[in-house]
Amino acid sequence: IHFILLFSRQGKLRLQKWYTTLPDKEKKKIIREIVQIILSRNQKTSSFVDWKDLKLVYKRYASLYFCCAIEDQDNELLTLEVVHRYVELLDRYFGNVCELDIIFNFEKAYFILDEFIIGGEVQETSKKTAVKAIEDADMLQETVEEYMNKPAF
């Protein structure tokens, strides 16, 4: 996977994860382009779009579009499953996740994604394990009091 984008039906970006290095300007341009392409596709089209030398796999869940860019030799149908799995993880963690959850807790969305995918490849195929890891890590996060009292270094 080269990158993952989450955006709303109005084209507002909710999450961007890049697994390749590109200049900021380039990223912005790509995002604009892809959002436009996907938002203009109607219901009857397939979930795959040829774009430059990559394939875009996208799926809409409620008001959010999830879009992955994969290489030529990657399996498109499996990527749909990857997207679905990510949504399931979010759902399990937040409990009936909706777009607002992702807006207000975007950093958690990133953490969950990082527990599922590293470097563009899936690292954990068990829902239970992935979510448990996040929850355990959450436990490690200091409470505000602890935070104030512990020295920084």
> Segment 126-145, which members bind other proteins (CB under 8 A)?
126-129, 133, 136-137, 140-142
Stretch that binds other proteins, among 16-24, 60-68, 89-97 (CB under 8 A): 16-24
DSSP structure class, residue 142:
P
Question: Binding-site residue total for other proteins (CB under 8 A)?
Answer: 57
Q: How far apart are CA 109 and CA 25, in angstroms?
A: 24
Interacting residue with other proteins among 45, 63, 71, 135 (CB under 8 A) = 45
- Does position 78 interact with other proteins (CB under 8 A)? The reply is yes
Question: Using a CB cutoff of 8 Å and minimum separation of 24, what contacts does 87-94 make?
Answer: 87/61, 88/127, 89/115, 89/116, 89/127, 89/130, 89/131, 92/127, 92/131, 93/131, 93/134, 93/135
Interface residue list for other proteins (CB under 8 A) = 13-19, 21, 23, 28, 44-50, 52-53, 75-78, 80-82, 85, 103-104, 106-107, 110-111, 114, 118-119, 121-129, 133, 136-137, 140-142, 147-148, 150-153
